[in-house]
Amino acid sequence: MTTLTEVKAWLADQLPALLEKYDVPAAAVAVLHQGEVVDDAAGTLNKATGVDATADSLFQIGSVTKLWTSTLVMQLVDEGLVDLDVPVRTYLPEFRIGDEQAAAVITTRMLLNHTAGFEGDIFTDTGVGDDCIERYLGVLHEVPQLFPPGEQFSYNNAGYCVLGRLVEVLREKTYDACLREHLFAPLGLTHSATGPYDAIMFRTAMGHIEMEPGAGL
């Protein structure tokens, strides 16, 4: 059986080669086995500065944050504060979209499993203040309904913002505060951030775009 020592040696040998092969600036890898963790990192967090990646460097994780939001929602379910199958307006009367009939029947479960049916690619920036998610819900008032709620799957980014607001209302705290209290702290996540102002406190990977030689932005 492969030992963790062998895994660590493999990572140290292969990770730099994999980055070069796939033209990836940096990566951090962790392997958990029977309660023990082996981690390693390779590459450069920022090609402009040459800062090396470390195992505790921060990387943007994009829609993996939906797992954070769904966990916060399911904690509310476990506490008896949310019923997945009643309209989300039961807890969030402010929820409105272009189709009033649909808005009245969309449930928390539909938002979680991407079957709510309204247009979900709404990327309006509502800032970074404590009320940014609340203000985002106002952006949704006119979004169209693509199909009847619950009838099919359509990936919905906006729906998870609605869920984030649901968490805020029921916890009476910001989404960020809920994450820190109900997820980060119990898991011992000391190097986690939800925005650039927090991330700048740590070694954080910058995004890179591959461009043709001589091409400008």
**One of 63, 70, 154, 192 is an active-site residue; which one?**
63
* Contacts (Cβ under 8 Å, ≥6 apart) of 117: 102, 106, 110, 145, 146, 147, 148, 149, 150, 151, 152, 154
* Contacts (Cβ under 8 Å, ≥6 apart) of 148: 102, 117
* Contacts (Cβ under 8 Å, ≥6 apart) of 195: 128, 176
Residue whose token pair is 């805020």: 168
Phi and psi dihedrals of 211, rounded to 5?
-125, 155
192 belongs to the catalytic site = no
* Contacts (Cβ under 8 Å, ≥6 apart) of 173: 181
d(CA 171, CA 103): 22
Q: Are 40 and 46 in contact (CB under 8 A)?
A: no
CA 142 to chain centre: 25
Cα→Cα distances 88→60, 201, 207, Å:
29, 36, 36
Active-site residue list? 63
